[in-house]
């Protein structure tokens, strides 16, 4: 490539009678390649359209630890990224997001990179991503086999790990081109005290069998809460804990408990297969990353009924709606039997949300349903309205509604009245709470 550049450049004119300058010493192939890359970077800077943001200076490479065998480390990715026209590496983007406390990174061909800052999307000053740059970023965090699988299926879920954070990866195709979202997961697992979780969270961890569900929309902190509960059991209880996740997010090291983490697609083919196999692996606790279908729910209920504590997640917005969502997976003929099964297996349903606090951070608020004898009977009879009313009055059992949790945050001065109304599932009732009418 260097020879081509030299050949295409016009030869400088030498005044007559002046001896030609001696030729420069030959450069090594590595130096030639480096000079060629530098010249390419200079040319790309010159031809940038007027008004385009400047290409940021690349900070020193960020080291990484491979998340699993075959996953390239960030150092290897930086070497590959030298052909990246923008010279901005994935490691630099992720490190910036981590340093600023952002939760997600959004990248896509034809789009400016963006970060999610405490629930809100923010644009960056980086240039629009082209396809060549995007593919360089993919090669930093994915193996060639994983890229091939993405091109075949047009979706990919995975994870990688740097020495400062773990990153969950989702790559997909869109109208503009390939895109990906990266979720930053702290390496340090926060305790329940640090998260300010109610004492009932600790209490339900001491159950020996049954079903605990942590629910909420995407980005509501379910994984962080589950990790804190697992960490508590890991330090306090001599149990065998098996997790089935897609992908593995928080990484646990066995302490007092023995923890085995399995990733769908790497250590098992399907959630349901791994859950059935877990019943023969002498577990005390089984964590299911997501109860996404009827088969997984069936197996989880079976495990809960046969003497295991099962923890799982669902994407629902309230505790009572979680029960309805599970039962709606079944036909009308199966409903009665499944209501009995859920009533006998359930320990607690914890629906969670996140809201911005007055100090610029975020706080969790909860809808907590504990399966008392009264709740058990109402689940069997399908009397969900009665359950909702009981939750407002049974704080001595550890129950609380989202409105009550938001009101507590408001009275502590941690959130504003506007935030309480915005995050409330029933704003009219919330307004009455704030005016002292309830």
Q: Are residues 147 and 77 in the same domain?
A: yes
Q: Are residues 82 and 159 in the same domain?
A: yes
In a domain, 341, yes or no: yes
Alpha carbon distances (Å) from 417 to 100, 273, 367, 412, 413: 27, 47, 19, 12, 10
Residues 325-360 pLDDT 10s: 999 999 999 999 999 999 999 999 999 999 999 998
**What does pLDDT average to over the chain?**
83
In a domain, 107, yes or no: yes
Q: How confident is the model at residue 219 (pLDDT cuts 50, 70, 90)?
A: confident
Task: Give the range among 53-57, 126-130, 305-309, 337-341 with minimum mean pLDDT.
Answer: 53-57
Residues 364-403 pLDDT 10s: 999 999 999 999 999 999 999 999 999 999 889 999 999 9
Last residue of one domain, picked from the residues 186, 216, 237: 186
Q: Are residues 63 and 179 in the same domain?
A: yes
**Whether the predicted pLDDT of 206 surpasses 50:** yes
Distance CA 76, CA 73 (A): 5
Q: Are residues 141 and 239 in the same domain?
A: no
In a domain, 7, yes or no: no
In a domain, 68, yes or no: yes
Q: Are residues 254 and 379 in the same domain?
A: yes
Q: Are residues 331 and 396 in the same domain?
A: yes
CB 116 within 8 A of CB 106: yes
Residue-number span of the structural domain to which 73 is assigned: 58-186
For the CA atoms of 403, 409, 414, 419, what is the dihedral angle to 10 degrees?
0
Residues 143-168 pLDDT 10s: 999 999 999 999 999 999 999 999 99
In 100-198, at which residue ranges do the beta strands (DSSP E only) sit?
104-108, 114-117, 120-123, 155-162, 165-173, 178-186
The answer to whether the Cα torsion of 70, 73, 74, 77 is positive or negative is negative
Q: Are residues 230 and 359 in the same domain?
A: yes
In a domain, 303, yes or no: yes
What is the total count of domains within the chain? 2
Average pLDDT over residues 396-414: 95
Last residue of one domain, picked from the residues 135, 162, 186: 186
**Whether the predicted pLDDT of 123 surpasses 80:** yes
Q: Give me the DSSP letters along 235-249.
A: HH---EEEEEESS--
Closest CA to 239 of 190, 309, 187, 306: 309
Q: Are residues 176 and 263 in the same domain?
A: no
Tokens 């809808």 correspond to what residue? 367
In a domain, 422, yes or no: no
Q: What is the pLDDT of residue 437?
A: 52
Q: What is the pLDDT of residue 360?
A: 84
Q: Are residues 73 and 145 in the same domain?
A: yes
**Whether the predicted pLDDT of 2 surpasses 80:** no
- Per DSSP, 143 falls in state -
- Per DSSP, 264 falls in state B
In a domain, 238, yes or no: yes
Q: Which CATH number belongs to the domain containing residue 354 in this structure?
A: 3.40.50.300
**Whether the predicted pLDDT of 66 surpasses 90:** no
Q: Are residues 169 and 268 in the same domain?
A: no
Distance CA 267, CA 261 (A): 9
369: Cβ–Cβ under 8 A, 6 or more apart, which residues? 319, 320, 323, 348, 349, 350, 375, 387, 391, 399
Distance CA 213, CA 369 (A): 10
Q: What is the pLDDT of residue 218?
A: 85
In a domain, 168, yes or no: yes
Distance CA 282, CA 306 (A): 12
Q: Are residues 308 and 388 in the same domain?
A: yes
Q: Which CATH number belongs to the domain containing residue 128 in this structure?
A: 3.30.450.90
Is omega for the bond preceding 2 within 30 degrees of 0, making it cis? no
Residues 67-81 pLDDT 10s: 443 344 444 444 444
Q: Are residues 276 and 182 in the same domain?
A: no
What percentage of the chain carries pLDDT values higher than 70? 80
């Amino acid at each position: 490539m260097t020879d081509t550049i030299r050949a295409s450049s016009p030869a400088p004119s030498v005044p007559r009678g002046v001896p030609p300058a001696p030729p420069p010493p030959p450069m090594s192939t590595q130096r030639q390649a480096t000079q060629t890359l530098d010249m390419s970077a200079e040319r790309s800077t010159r031809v940038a359209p007027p008004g385009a943001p400047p290409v940021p200076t690349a900070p020193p490479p960020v080291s990484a630890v491979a998340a699993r065998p075959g996953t390239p480390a960030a150092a290897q990715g930086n070497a590959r990224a030298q052909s990246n026209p923008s010279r901005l590496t994935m490691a630099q983007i992720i490190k910036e997001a981590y340093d600023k406390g952002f939760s997600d990174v959004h990248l896509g061909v034809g789009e400016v990179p963006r970060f999610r800052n405490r629930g809100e999307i923010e644009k960056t000053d980086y240039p629009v991503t082209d396809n060549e740059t995007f593919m360089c970023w993919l090669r930093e965090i994915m193996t060639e086999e994983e890229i091939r699988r993405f091109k075949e299926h047009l979706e990919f879920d995975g994870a990688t790990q740097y020495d400062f954070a773990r990153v969950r990866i989702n790559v997909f195709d869109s109208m503009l081109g390939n895109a990906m979202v990266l979720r930053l997961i702290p390496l340090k697992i926060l305790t329940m005290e640090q998260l300010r979780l109610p004492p009932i969270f600790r209490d339900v961890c001491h159950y020996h069998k049954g079903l605990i569900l942590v629910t909420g929309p995407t980005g509501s902190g379910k994984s962080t809460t589950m990790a804190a509960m697992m960490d508590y059991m890991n330090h306090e209880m001599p149990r065998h804990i098996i997790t089935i996740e897609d992908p593995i997010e928080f990484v646990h090291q066995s302490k007092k408990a023995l923890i085995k983490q399995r990733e769908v697609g790497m250590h098992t083919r399907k959630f349901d297969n791994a859950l059935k196999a877990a019943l023969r692996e002498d577990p005390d606790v089984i964590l299911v990353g997501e109860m996404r279908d009827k088969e997984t729910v069936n197996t989880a209920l079976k495990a809960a009924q046969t003497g295991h504590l099962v923890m799982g997640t669902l994407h629902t917005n309230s505790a009572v709606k979680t029960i309805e969502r599970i039962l709606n997976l079944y036909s009308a003929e199966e409903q009665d039997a499944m209501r009995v099964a859920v009533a006998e297996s359930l320990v607690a349903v914890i629906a969670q949300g996140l809201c911005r606090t007055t100090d610029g951070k975020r706080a969790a608020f909860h809808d907590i349903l504990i399966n008392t004898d009264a709740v058990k009977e109402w689940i069997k009879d399908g009397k969900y309205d009665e359950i909702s009313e009981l939750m407002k009055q049974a704080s001595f059992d550890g129950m609380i509604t989202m409105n009550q949790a938001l009101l507590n945050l408001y009275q502590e001065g941690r959130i504003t009245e506007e935030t309480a109304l915005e995050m409330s599932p029933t704003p009219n009732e919330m307004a009455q709470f704030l005016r002292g009418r309830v």
